[in-house]
């Protein structure tokens, strides 16, 4: 992109939005060079911080007129490089759009701007006895706009679902620069479910400028237990038994020995000594319901060889249980100089087999893997540990990380359960989907963004021009041919 184009754009946007909303000096641009996935770094050509939806639309229109790509960024906590800037593009940061417009407990709704922090929604709703259910681990800093882009989950999505289940309406800036409302305050708006299509589209279909979310009643009772097992197999069997008993816990989280070791080193969470795996099981709901089911969960953990069970007596103890789990990603820094956070999904029942295979793959490469996962829904977060200072380790770790994704896909799972495809996993997407599948997804993209200006290069490995005729079927998918998976 010629510098002159960006300079002209910067001048235009300064005039329209004011000097403080436009950043083009190199040193300040650098602070935006990556999101939560710091291994990719690209300095954007320009950063703009609109204060209103109209300003956001103004910026997009200017980009369209200049044929300059744009990337939206919330708090920049994403773990797949979804908000990685474009070197010749504009980074549109939504952090100044941070007004909570309405909290309507009687309607179980809130209307917020995209820069509002996830936890702030819950804080605003709590006085009325409500909260915002999706709770990614980064909820103290991640933004609702980013959650919408990534369809963020969290530990409690086993019972309560993901961002997509909690967004009713959106105002978006389309990639043409138009402000459009999708969905609404009430459910089942007539027409295509474009809210459903937009949530999780990782900034490739436009930028959310207002989000209507569902609020959930704070539960009457929350009961949490921590169970220690000798092996991950036993913990996995306990999880299966709980689900088979017809219990839908709010959360079932598992950590293996290495992850526990790291958490202990970092936050002294005091998990039972000698555990090969711990499970955190949380139930919530009406007291009468929770009491009955909690006793059953405790019994099933014991029946599946839990050697120690601790029951949180109060919120402080519950917080301690969660502290180890929630700090696990950062904690592995204590036991390894470098690490990759992986995010894959498998059918939950395949857990013991997949963990064994991960162990074998790791051993073959001389790499350690700490496992942290949302056991209830089969969402694995293997932490691949390596030392960049040791020759070849980073490459082996990267290769192992990819092999784990292949394993997930081979078991009928997914390459990402909550972190998104972004820049990081675009090359893996064809392992899950056929060319025809990806072509069909492109139809949606082209409907919204015929010029491919909205976050280009993310999600899809090979961007296609929208005028292009979608490719014809080219035979069976490689995975089907290899007998590895049914493309259902």
Partner 1 sequence: MPRLDTDTNTTAQMDTLRAAIAAHDGSGPEGAEIGVVRPAGPADAVGGVPARIVAAPGSTAQAAALLRAAAGLGLSVVFAGGGSRSDWGNPPRTLDLVVQTRRLTGVVEHAAGDLIVVVRAGTPLAELQSALAPAGQQLGLDDPVGGATVGGTVAVNGSGPRRMLYGTVRDLLIGVTLVRADGVVAHAGGKVVKNVAGYDLGKLVTGAYGTLGLVTECVFRLHPVPAARSYVRCRVTAAGADGVARVGRLLRTVLGAQLVPAALEVEAPPEGGYDVVLLLEGTPAGVAGRAEVAARLLGADALPGTAAPPWWGRYPWQPGDTGLKLTGVLSGVPDLLAAGRAAADRHGVPVGVRGSAGTGVLYAGLPAAADPDRVARIVEELRGATAEAGGHAVVLTAPDPVRDRVDLWGPVEGLELMRRVKHRFDPDARLAPGRFVGAI
Site for partner 1 in 230-269 (CB under 8 A): 240, 243-244, 246-248
Tell which one of 433, 451, 463, 464 touches partner 1 (CB under 8 A).
433
Convert 104-120 to b/e letters by CB count within 10 Å (16 or more is b).
beeeebbbbbbbbbbbb
Stretch of residues binding partner 1 (CB under 8 A), selected from 181-189, 226-234, 258-266, 327-335: 181-189
Tell which one of 27, 38, 273, 288 touches partner 1 (CB under 8 A).
288
Distance from the first to the final alpha carbon of the chain: 43
Q: Which is nearer to partner 1, 94 or 151 (CB)?
A: 151
CB of 190 to partner 1, least distance (A): 5
The number of beta carbons lying within 10 Å of the beta carbon of residue 211 is 29
Residues 6+ apart with CB under 8 A from 15: none
CA distance 79 to 76: 9
Stretch of residues binding partner 1 (CB under 8 A), selected from 10-18, 54-62, 289-297, 321-329: 289-297
Integer CA distances (angstroms), 139 to 74, 208, 345, in order: 13, 18, 21
Report the Cα 339 to chain-centroid distance in Å. Answer: 18
* Alpha helices by DSSP H, 332-392: 351-365
267-286: contacts with partner 1 (CB under 8 A): 285-286
196-235: contacts with partner 1 (CB under 8 A): 196-197, 199-201, 217, 219-220
User: In whole angstroms, how large is the CA radius of gyration of the chain?
Assistant: 23
CB of 45 to partner 1, least distance (A): 28
Q: Which is nearer to partner 1, 11 or 450 (CB)?
A: 450
- 476 counts as binding partner 1 under rule CB under 8 A: no
CB of 437 to partner 1, least distance (A): 5
- Pairing relation of β-strands 277-285 and 221-229? antiparallel
CA distance 153 to 160: 9
305-344: contacts with partner 1 (CB under 8 A): none
Report the Cα 280 to chain-centroid distance in Å. Answer: 21
- 349 counts as binding partner 1 under rule CB under 8 A: yes
- Pairing relation of β-strands 179-183 and 167-173? antiparallel
- 192 counts as binding partner 1 under rule CB under 8 A: yes
143-172: contacts with partner 1 (CB under 8 A): 150-151, 153, 157, 161-162, 164-165
5-44: contacts with partner 1 (CB under 8 A): none
- 184 counts as binding partner 1 under rule CB under 8 A: yes
Stretch of residues binding partner 1 (CB under 8 A), selected from 107-115, 228-236, 363-371, 389-397: 107-115
363-422: contacts with partner 1 (CB under 8 A): 374, 377-379, 412-421
Tell which one of 65, 287, 465, 482 touches partner 1 (CB under 8 A).
287
- In 3D, which of 133, 149, 71 has the Cα closest to residue 418? 149
Tell which one of 12, 108, 338, 406 touches partner 1 (CB under 8 A).
108
Instruction: List the strands of the sheet with 100-104, edge to edge.
Output: 100-104, 109-112, 207-214, 167-173, 179-183
CB of 291 to partner 1, least distance (A): 8
- 135 counts as binding partner 1 under rule CB under 8 A: no
């Amino acid at each position: 992109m010629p510098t002159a184009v960006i300079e002209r754009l910067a001048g235009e946007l300064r005039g329209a939005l004011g000097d403080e909303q436009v950043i083009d000096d190199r040193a300040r641009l650098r602070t935006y060079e990556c999101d939560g996935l710091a291994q990719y770094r690209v300095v954007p050509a320009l950063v703009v911080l609109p204060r209103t939806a109209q300003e956001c639309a103004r910026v997009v229109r200017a980009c369209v007129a200049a044929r300059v790509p744009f990337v939206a960024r919330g708090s920049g906590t994403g773990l797949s490089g979804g908000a990685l800037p474009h070197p010749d593009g504009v980074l549109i940061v939504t952090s100044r759009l941070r007004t909570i417009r309405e909290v309507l407990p009687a309607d179980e709704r809130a209307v917020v701007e995209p820069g509002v922090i996830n936890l702030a929604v819950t804080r605003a709703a709590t006085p009325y006895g409500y909260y915002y259910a999706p709770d990614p681990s980064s909820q103290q800093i991640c933004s609702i706009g980013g959650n919408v882009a990534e369809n963020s989950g969290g530990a409690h999505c086993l019972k309560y679902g993901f961002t997509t289940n909690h967004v009713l309406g959106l105002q978006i800036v389309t990639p043409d620069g138009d402000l459009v409302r999708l969905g609404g305050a009430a459910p089942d708006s007539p027409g295509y479910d474009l809210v459903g299509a937009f949530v999780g589209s990782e900034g490739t279909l436009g930028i959310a400028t207002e989000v209507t979310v569902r609020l959930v009643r704070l539960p009457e009772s929350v009961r949490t237990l921590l169970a220690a097992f000798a092996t991950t197999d036993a913990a996995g069997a306990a999880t299966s038994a709980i689900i088979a008993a017809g219990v839908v816990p709010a959360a079932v989280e598992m950590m293996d020995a290495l992850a526990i070791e790291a958490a202990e080193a970092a936050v002294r969470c005091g998990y039972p000594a000698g555990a090969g795996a711990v499970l955190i099981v949380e139930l919530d709901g009406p007291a009468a319901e929770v009491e009955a089911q909690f006793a059953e969960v405790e019994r099933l953990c014991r029946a599946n060889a839990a050697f120690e069970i601790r029951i949180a007596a109060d919120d402080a103890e519950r917080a301690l249980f969660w502290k180890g789990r929630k700090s696990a990603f950062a904690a592995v820094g204590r036991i390894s100089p470098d690490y990759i956070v992986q995010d894959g999904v498998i059918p939950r029942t395949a857990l013991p087999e997949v963990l064994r295979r991960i162990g074998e793959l790791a051993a073959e490469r001389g790499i350690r893997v700490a496992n942290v996962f949302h056991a209830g829904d089969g969402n694995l977060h293997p932490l691949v540990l390596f030392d960049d200072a040791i020759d070849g380790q980073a490459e082996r770790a990267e290769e192992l990380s990819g092999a784990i994704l292949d394993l997930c896909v081979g078991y009928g799972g997914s390459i990402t359960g909550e972190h998104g495809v972004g820049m990081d996993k675009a090359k893996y997407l064809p392992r899950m989907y056929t060319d025809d599948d990806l072509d069909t997804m492109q139809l949606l993209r082209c409907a919204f963004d015929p010029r491919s200006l909205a976050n280009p290069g993310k999600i899809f490995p090979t961007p296609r021009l929208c005028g292009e005729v979608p490719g014809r079927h080219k035979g069976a998918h490689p995975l089907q041919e290899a007998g590895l998976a049914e493309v259902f």
